[in-house]
Amino acid sequence: MLNKMFRNKFPFAYNYFSNLLELVEQNKRNFPQAIIFEGTDTKMQYLFALELARILNCKKDKTNNCDCINCKWIKSHSHPAINNVSQIHFKGEDDESKTVISAKQAREIEKALTLSSDYHRFFIFFSSREKEYEENELECFEKLNYSQDINFSIEPLTYNTFHPTTPNALLKSIEEPPIRTTFIFLTKAREDILPTIVSRCLVFKLSGQKENLKFDEIIPLLQNYPNINYTNAFDISLNFQNYMKETNKTLDNILNEFLEYLVYLLKQNIENIDYYQKINNDILITNEMIKYSKANINDKIVLDTLFLRIARGY
């Protein structure tokens, strides 16, 4: 569903949301109500947010070429339920503030949420000013068939634009929004946002460059981690065995890569208690398996056991 372009840019978020969007479609999970994207490429974060909104609102096949009215509206930046919130967006008539996202805007949002909606509503927060774009500057929009006809910049939130009094006025809306409502905050780093907001959000690090992490190669082998179950545990073990053969890495090498990946995930998800505990538990299992790998137990047995135990949860 999500465009492969994001797979290279934001491998972790791509995997996470691909999996989540499927579960949402099957009514097994709700989409999170508050999300922070942090990283250097705010334009791509914005596009990623729009794509999530598009897939959640699409009435047809969710593909990139979908011609349903929701996809068309979102791609032309005119969907009635997808709201930009910045110093120059979502301002009420009596709001004189021009340099900050104001508490008045937070109250406008609260008011808007009292009305029911047929859509999955999005409020995308970022810093912005009027801007004319050079040719090719919005290439990433073009790649996904989005209109490039926008006249505002897309910049990270900071304490200057997202003033501390505004987040406080927002807390109630974020905590108890109507169903199918999502707040997304675009930032460079979570430290630029008030901690009371951060603690209510899922935080995703969306780095603008391809992250050159040691564990890059094992992410596709893991299918939809953390959703490992008895059915796919052996497939994943087999993927790892093949990966060892292809790369001539030892069992100890790849278990440490996996461990590094888990630690990375853990750091990204400190605020999300369920997910945090699950990863923490898988780290303990992996550490135990690293001990076995040093005891010269057959590679296949160690890997089968690792993923079966992760599926089982202990």
Count other C-beta atoms under 10 Å from residue 80's C-beta: 11
Give least dist CB 47 to Zn ion, A: 16
Nearest to 109 by CA among 127, 128, 91, 95: 91
Q: Which phi and psi (to 5°) does residue 150 adopt? A: -125, 150
Residue 10 to residue 26: CA distance in whole angstroms: 24
Among 35, 58, 184, 279, binds Zn ion (CB under 5 A): 58
Choose between 67 and 288: whose C-beta lies nearer to Zn ion. 67
Give least dist CB 65 to Zn ion, A: 9
Binding of Zn ion by 82 (CB under 5 A): no
Specify the DSSP class assigned to residue 149.
Answer: -
Choose between 68 and 88: whose C-beta lies nearer to Zn ion. 68
Choose between 41 and 51: whose C-beta lies nearer to Zn ion. 51
Region near Zn ion per CB under 5 A, out of 18-26, 57-65, 79-87, 218-226: 57-65
Region near Zn ion per CB under 5 A, out of 27-35, 67-75, 199-207, 254-262: 67-75
Binding of Zn ion by 66 (CB under 5 A): yes
Give least dist CB 43 to Zn ion, A: 23
Give the interface size with Zn ion as a residue count (CB under 5 A): 5
With beta carbons less than 8 A apart as the criterion, state whether 173 and 106 touch.
yes
Residue 188 to residue 40: CA distance in whole angstroms: 6
Among 68, 189, 194, 244, binds Zn ion (CB under 5 A): 68
Region near Zn ion per CB under 5 A, out of 27-35, 68-76, 226-234, 263-271: 68-76
Choose between 72 and 205: whose C-beta lies nearer to Zn ion. 72
Give least dist CB 68 to Zn ion, A: 3
Give least dist CB 1 to Zn ion, A: 11
Region near Zn ion per CB under 5 A, out of 16-24, 63-71, 109-117, 202-210: 63-71
Among 60, 98, 111, 129, binds Zn ion (CB under 5 A): 60
With beta carbons less than 8 A apart as the criterion, state whether 33 and 182 touch.
yes
Q: How far is CA 247 from CA 21, 244, 292, 304, in A?
A: 33, 5, 21, 19
Region near Zn ion per CB under 5 A, out of 4-12, 66-74, 183-191, 273-281: 66-74
Q: Pairing mode, if any, of strands 202-205 and 82-85?
A: unpaired
Region near Zn ion per CB under 5 A, out of 61-69, 88-96, 155-163, 173-181: 61-69
Q: How far is CA 251 from CA 44, 212, 215, 234, in A?
A: 36, 22, 14, 16
Q: Omega of the bond prior to 164 within 30 degrees of 0, cis?
A: no
Binding of Zn ion by 71 (CB under 5 A): yes
Q: Which phi and psi (to 5°) does residue 3 adopt? A: -65, 140
Q: Which phi and psi (to 5°) does residue 169 adopt? A: -70, -20
Residue type, 279: I
**Residues of this chain that bind Zn ion (CB under 5 A):** 58, 60, 66, 68, 71
